[in-house]
Amino acid sequence: MDARISPLGPGNLTDYATTYREFSWASVEKDFAWSNGGRYNVAAEAIDRHAENLRRNKIALYSVQADGGVRKFTFGEMADLTSRFASGLEKLGAVKGDRVLVYLDRIPELYISVVGIAKMGGIAGPLFSALGPEAVKDRALDCSASIIVTSPYLYQRLEPVLDELLDVKKFIIVGDDELPEGKTVRFDEALELGDPRYLAMNMAPTDPYIIHYTSGSTGKPKGVMLGHRAMVQQFVGCKYVVDLREDDTYWCTADPGWVTGTSVGIFGPWYLGTTLVSYEGRFDARAWCSIIERFKVNVWFTAPTALRMLMRAGDDVIREFDLSELRHICSAGEPLNPEVVRWGLEVLGTRIHDNWWQTETGAPCIANFRCMDIKPGSMGRPVPGVVASIVDENGQEVPPGTYGFLALRPGWPSMMTGIWRNTPKFREYFEIPGWYISGDLAYVDEDGYFWFMGRADDVIKTSGERLGPFEVESTLIEHPAVAEAGVIGKPDELRGEIVKAFITLRPGFTPSDGLRDEITNFVKTRLAYYAYPREIEFVESLPKTRSGKIMRRVLKARELGQPLGDLTMLDD
């Protein structure tokens, strides 16, 4: 284990042990307007209540366009626009419970749409704009979407499947392009139809407000639904894990097609009245650093993949910019390698706080908090109110240091309310009585810190030992030549499986047998005798989802000549 990194300063959570011991979810309810007679709706809490107080003229969103231009919106303006859109949806025939897909780049209309859909009692389905027509069709048919909000170029992308989208009654198109006849209506026309005085629909806590299709890193995407009650845990996550304050400027780089992009990228921070930054463009080291400098971003939430790409760009690029306003950094989506944590402290001047959760959990559940020591490579400790443990196949808790299934006690507020049209799959998560089984393997140490081993399907069994790919990948990227690494188990007659590593190199290094041997020996001296990669393949890139997860199953399928399975969430 790596040496601890001490806290750099106080945070919203000042005493983890005491707060965890004394915490109750009910204690958070007073922070919501519905506890004092307001409407129970995530949109009312995220936007409307701020428009009724001193935050009305505060900037809610800086939307940075791909060309660097900026559109900005106050909470008052967002309240008006989301009410108009909610009301407009009703005028177009939408009713409570309808599924409305939002197929847009990260532009303001995406944020207006998602909040507006929730406001009228619909279920928003944000989709990555990189999805192809078949992927959108599959999701639309799965959830019987009645409306799709999109843009002209994305609508054109859907042309091959339009005749198959039988449930879709309307396409709401953002922009001034000439629209084809039929089911299309302009976004602005939907707003004009709507009433800015529209009041958010009063919802039940378990009513879903969003359906997220999982990344497909382990199989075919499934529609995970989160209920309006998720707001309670999203608020706690943004306050304690993301360490947000009302006067912060906050940038979450996650696309709203991924749960991070909505739970702690839209709704969670807006519950606290925090100003958001969004960026329409793709990753570019200088562009990203420029945004942090330009908007004086205080809190930044991003993915390990992005941080590793920043490392790859070189420290000199980072030092071109003034990032001194950056107080707190969070990372999720993939485990955060220890080397990246150490780099962040040295180059960015602050700790990077890894946290663990899933689409199905709806909000952070295990985290490294600002007030406690970080053990680089660890996921941290459970969020107050969440009971986490490591259990065996029978649901029995195992001793510290023992690998097992990462499990949670059901009942946390942001727990999924179901999987659309797939109750059997939903029940699988709870097959062991008293536990939600995440599908991740991990262990907990003597201090209560959780350590990720890998997805159950990713764990390598070699020479009679179980090995998590993350441990090998983290050691590999400590080598100065290695930018990123993906590790799989490859069948072997003698050992059951051997470790095979796929490696991308940093600038200035070229593949060679000598470098391959050097990297192999580097790992041999740092890990157990069975853990080093017996095969290394240098590659230009690794298959990843747009949320940054390395798709190890794709690496393995390619290696073994097997079908690749669902690739709809593969980053292009």
| pLDDT exceeds 70 at position 423 | yes
CA–CA gap between residue 374 and residue 369 (Å, rounded): 8
Of 25, 433, 383, residue with least CA distance to 230? 25
Using H for helix, E for strand and C for coil, what is the string for 346-371? HHHCCCEEEEECCCCCCCCCEECCCC
pLDDT given at position 10: 87
Q: Among 304-308, 324-328, 456-460, where is mean pLDDT lowest? A: 456-460
Q: Check for a shared fold between 73-228 and 458-560.
A: no
Question: Rounded mean pLDDT of 372-392?
Answer: 97
Q: Among 167-171, 216-220, 336-340, where is mean pLDDT lowest? A: 216-220
Q: What is the pLDDT of residues 389-406, one digit of tens each?
A: 999 999 999 999 998 999
Question: Over pLDDT 90: what percentage of the chain?
Answer: 81
CA–CA gap between residue 108 and residue 71 (Å, rounded): 8
Instruction: Specify the CATH architecture of the domain 73-228.
Output: 3-Layer(aba) Sandwich (3.40)
| pLDDT exceeds 90 at position 552 | no
Which one-letter DSSP state was computed for residue 545? B
Q: Where is pLDDT greater, at 149 or 218?
A: 149
Q: Please, which residues bridge with residue 381 across strands?
A: 367
Which one-letter DSSP state was computed for residue 31? G
pLDDT given at position 1: 46
pTM: 0.87
Question: Over pLDDT 70: what percentage of the chain?
Answer: 97
Instruction: Tell me the average pLDDT of the chain.
Output: 93
Question: Rounded mean pLDDT of 349-370?
Answer: 97
CA–CA gap between residue 81 and residue 84 (Å, rounded): 5
Tell me the HSE value of 450 on the side-chain side, using a 13 A CA sphere: 30
Q: What is the pLDDT of residues 246-294, one digit of tens each?
A: 999 999 999 999 999 999 999 999 999 999 999 999 899 999 999 999 9
Q: What is the pLDDT of residues 463-520, one digit of tens each?
A: 767 787 888 998 899 999 999 999 999 988 778 889 999 999 999 999 999 999 999 9
What's the chain's length in residues? 572
Q: What is the pLDDT of residues 78-101, one digit of tens each?
A: 999 999 999 999 999 999 999 999
pLDDT given at position 218: 47
Residue spans per domain, the chain: 73-228, 458-560
Instruction: Specify the CATH architecture of the domain 458-560.
Output: 2-Layer Sandwich (3.30)
C-beta of residue 15 within 8 angstroms of C-beta of residue 372: no
